[in-house]
Amino acid sequence: MSDSTYLTAAAALAGSTIGGLTSLASAWLTQRHQDRVKEVLQDKGRRQSLYKQFIVEASKLYAEALTHNKSDVSALVNVYSLIGQMRILSCLAVVGRAEVVARTIVDTFFAPNKTFVEFRELVQNQTVDLLRPFTDEWRAELQALPDSRAGRLP
C-alpha cells in the first residue's frame, strides 16, 4: 500500500473521530443545559409553593390576631417553620420581610381586639396589608433568578 492510502485512511479515521466527539460534546452540552433549566424551574416552583403557603398561614393568623386575644400556638409555630425553610432557599431580604410579618402578628395578639369600624380604618389607611412588603420582596427575588426561557442561565 502506498503512503497516500494510509494518509487517506488516517484522514477518514480522524474525521470520523472528530465528528463523533463533536456530536458527543454537543449532546452532552444540550443535556447539561436542559438539566439546568429543569433545576431552575424546580427551584422557582419550590419557592413559589413555600411563599404561597406562608401567605395563607400568615393571613389566617393575622386575621385571628386582630379579633382574638388567644393565639393558636401551633399555627404560629407553623409560620416560623415556613420562615426556617425560607432561610434555606431564599435571599436574606425575603427572610427579613417574613420575620417582620411574624413579629407583627405576635405583637397584634397582645394588642386590643379590633372592631369592625377599626378594621375598616385599617383598610382605608392601607395599613392592613401586612404582607405587601413581603410579596414585593418575593417578586423582586423571583425576577432576579435566572430566566430559563430566555436561555439566560448562570
Per-residue pLDDT tens listing for the chain (154 residues): 567 787 787 878 888 888 888 888 888 888 888 878 788 788 888 989 999 999 999 999 998 888 886 767 888 899 999 999 999 989 999 999 999 999 999 998 888 887 778 878 877 787 778 899 999 998 898 888 776 454 444 4
Q: How far apart are CA 135 and CA 24, in angstroms?
A: 44
Q: How many CB atoms lie within 10 A of CB 121?
A: 13
pTM of the model: 0.70
In the chain, where the domains are located: 41-146
Q: How far apart are CA 72 and CA 51, in angstroms?
A: 20
Please say whether the beta carbons of 90 and 47 come within 8 A: yes
Q: What pLDDT, on a 0 to 100 scale, did the predictor assign at position 152?
A: 46
Q: How far apart are CA 105 and CA 121, in angstroms?
A: 18
Residue pointed to by grid coordinates 395578639: 109
Q: What pLDDT, on a 0 to 100 scale, did the predictor assign at position 150?
A: 45
* Cα separation values, 6 from 13, 16, 34, Å: 10, 15, 42
Residue 2, CB half-sphere, CA atoms under 13 Å: how many? 3
